[in-house]
Structure 1
Amino acid sequence: MTTLVVLFNLKAGVDENVYQQWATQTDIPTAGALKSVDSFEVLKAQGLLMSEATPPYQYIELIKVNDMDQFGQDVATETMQKVASEFQQFADNPLFILTSTL
């Protein structure tokens, strides 16, 4: 299984409450319902362990993908293209990292 880890900050001027409402009402339920996705969660960074420094990213998405070929088909749908376009309006240069379990 592949876990897609997405690290991002919000773009300057984006209202965090607007993003969080969109994430909980649109992004999580839509992407989480894809046939290729076993689970999808969005985490908000709270701090760095044993440090006063600000975390380098505000948000982390963890998307557990059971079939990457199917995932490619799922994200190509009109619905997911709309969600992805909306996400790009919120996220400033997100990093999409493909991972696997050891």
Structure 2
Amino acid sequence: MAKEDKYHQWKKRMEDFQSSGQTAQQWVSGQEGITIHQFHYWRRKLKNDNEIYPAQKGWTAFEVSTLPSSTTIEMKLDEVTLYIPENVSEDHLHRVIRVLRRG
């Protein structure tokens, strides 16, 4: 199988997994010829290729009608814009960025 075909095959598999609502182990156990190690390898590979397959569910989108007056930093991540006030603690900002990187 060509490299590009394999990439698209695994991309489709990850989409199927995401829509299944199952854990990785549950989903893999229902697939023929796929090991959990292959699953995690491709999940990381696709995520590193800027594909979004979050490990966690439950993110909620919301809109803020007005911006705080002390906003000094605007950070854009894909379709999300974060407005960071100048008085935010460095530790808190590190924690937020760590969570966003995992997602």
Relative to the length of structure 2, the TM-score reads 0.29
Max radius of gyration: which structure? 2
Q: Which has the higher contact order (CA 8 A, sep 6+)?
A: 1
Report which of the two has the higher share of helix: 2
Report which of the two has the higher share of strand: 1
Relative to the length of structure 1, the TM-score reads 0.29
